[in-house]
Amino acid sequence: MPTGRGISALDSAQHQLARAAERMSLPPGTLHRLSRPDRVIEVSIEIQLDDGAPAWFTGYRVQHSNLLGPYKGGIRFHPGVTQDEVRALAMWMTIKCALVAVPFGGAKGGVACDPASLTGDEMERLSRGYVRAIYRDLGPRWDIPAPDVNTGAQVIGWMADEFGRLHGSFEPAAFTGKPDALGGLPARTAATGRGVAYITMAIARRIELDISRATVTLQGFGNVGRYAALDLHRAGARVIAATDVHGGVYNAKGLDVPALAEHASRTGRVSGFAEAEPLDRDRVFDVKADVFIPAAIENQITGETAPRLRTRVVVEGANGPTTPEGEAILHDRGVLVVPDILANAGGVIVSYFEWTGEQTAGGRGQAGVERGLRDHLTRAVDQTYTVAQLHGIELRTAAYMVALRRLAEALVAWRGRQ
């Protein structure tokens, strides 16, 4: 998905990888291994629409690296899905899992489609068709998909059911993010957004920003933005603006986030919320706040939009929302950027608990899962912040260095076993 200057998500991912590798003098062989995926799968999916007409869609699954464990990554349904985008997302998953010390590799999947134009039955046919096209390359010990943009527990439930049908038996660990009735964790839906909120609060403490007095703006109000907003609201932060693909809302005194979440669930959009002023979705970059959370899609903070941001901290709820040019501008202006590979890692951590069947993580049920989520994120924040302070570098490069060190050690260990 190019920006105005032609920078794609893949360009950004490779730039970030090379920058960190150079900083830590990563061996060229390791950089070569991680700069390209192990496998790229592209398929054509044919389904029958409700009116009986055939329709064709292009689907992808990119398996980037399994140095640390089985390939792991979500599946998105979006009109802008391309092979390069999925390759970038798969690379980020590899780095993310290594950073938070979850024993998974990185993968990603996607189908180029417009879910808004499909009925529920058509979505089910497409979900099952995608699995039929790639099921031989999936499995609980090989590649474990999960939800992503425009997919959720229902889509994953269809996919898990289709995978089980093709294999002759249901495999609970073959997918994560499943409906609760199929072995999913209730905490999974909120996990990524809850992790974003937790990371925001952890970073706020380090820079002496009182979260109970902080103002927050959000771009994107899906699962990530919504649950991040709810948790930050509960912590006392004042969420003053939120946007989605349809538009936005603003209230200088603070939005009633629980009421806004209910409105968005009922209407499918934040616009039209009675207790706020309307806000053009592009104007969210102009609203002054302590924290800005981009929680939509990649390449939103660019050379054009970065100068407009009036914020102290950017916490990347989405994958790849900031281009290298945009980040350079923010850095020059003294804006702290908390990278996606740290900020939105909550989803894959809770997916790990689901995959292992670990309903407890230091305790029983929901409380135990949330405690495990906090433990993983706390260690990652501490390690990243320490490396950043030690080397005098931005958090993104520091996070990459923590992750790449683990991946390089794994590669040496694998070679030693050959």
Answer yes or no: do 334 and 412 share one domain. Answer: yes
Answer yes or no: do 253 and 388 share one domain. Answer: yes
Whether pLDDT at 175 is above 50: yes
8 Å CB contact between 60 and 46: no
* pLDDT, tens only, 10-26: 988 998 999 898 888 88
Higher pLDDT, 409 or 124: 124
Asked if the structure places residue 383 within a domain, the reply is: yes
Answer yes or no: do 46 and 146 share one domain. Answer: yes
> What pLDDT score does 4 carry?
41
Whether pLDDT at 168 is above 50: yes
Q: Binning pLDDT at 50, 70 and 90, where does residue 156 land?
A: very high
> What pLDDT score does 6 carry?
57
Separation CA 166–CA 158 (nearest Å):
12
> What pLDDT score does 361 carry?
41
Inter-CA distances, 322 with 23, 115, 134, 276, 350, Å? 20, 25, 31, 28, 25
Domain boundary among the residues 167, 182, 197 is at 182
Asked if the structure places residue 116 within a domain, the reply is: yes
Whether pLDDT at 46 is above 80: yes
Domain boundary among the residues 158, 182, 206 is at 182
Asked if the structure places residue 27 within a domain, the reply is: no
Sole residue written with tokens 């096209």:
133
b/e sequence 264-283, b meaning 16+ C-beta within 10 Å: beeeebbbebeebeebebee
Q: In the chain, what percentage of residues exceed pLDDT 70? A: 96
Answer yes or no: do 225 and 346 share one domain. Answer: yes
Answer yes or no: do 157 and 219 share one domain. Answer: no
Answer yes or no: do 172 and 224 share one domain. Answer: no
Answer yes or no: do 274 and 398 share one domain. Answer: yes
The residues that are catalytic are: 108
Domains held by the chain: number: 2
Separation CA 107–CA 72 (nearest Å):
5
Asked if the structure places residue 90 within a domain, the reply is: yes
Answer yes or no: do 204 and 328 share one domain. Answer: yes
Whether pLDDT at 88 is above 70: yes
Answer yes or no: do 359 and 416 share one domain. Answer: yes
Asked if the structure places residue 71 within a domain, the reply is: yes
List the alpha helices (DSSP H) in 239-344.
Answer: 257-267, 324-332, 340-343
Answer yes or no: do 94 and 227 share one domain. Answer: no
List the alpha helices (DSSP H) in 146-222.
Answer: 153-167, 188-206
Domain boundary among the residues 140, 160, 182 is at 182
The CATH number for 111's domain is 3.40.50.10860
The CATH number for 417's domain is 3.40.50.720
* pLDDT, tens only, 226-249: 999 999 999 999 999 999 999 999
Asked if the structure places residue 8 within a domain, the reply is: no
Answer yes or no: do 198 and 75 share one domain. Answer: no
Q: Which of 416, 381, 410, 396 is nearest to 100 (CA)?
A: 381
Asked if the structure places residue 75 within a domain, the reply is: yes
The boundaries of the domain holding residue 56 are: 38-182
Whether pLDDT at 50 is above 70: yes
Answer yes or no: do 223 and 331 share one domain. Answer: yes
Asked if the structure places residue 6 within a domain, the reply is: no
Q: What is the mean pLDDT of residues 264-288?
A: 93
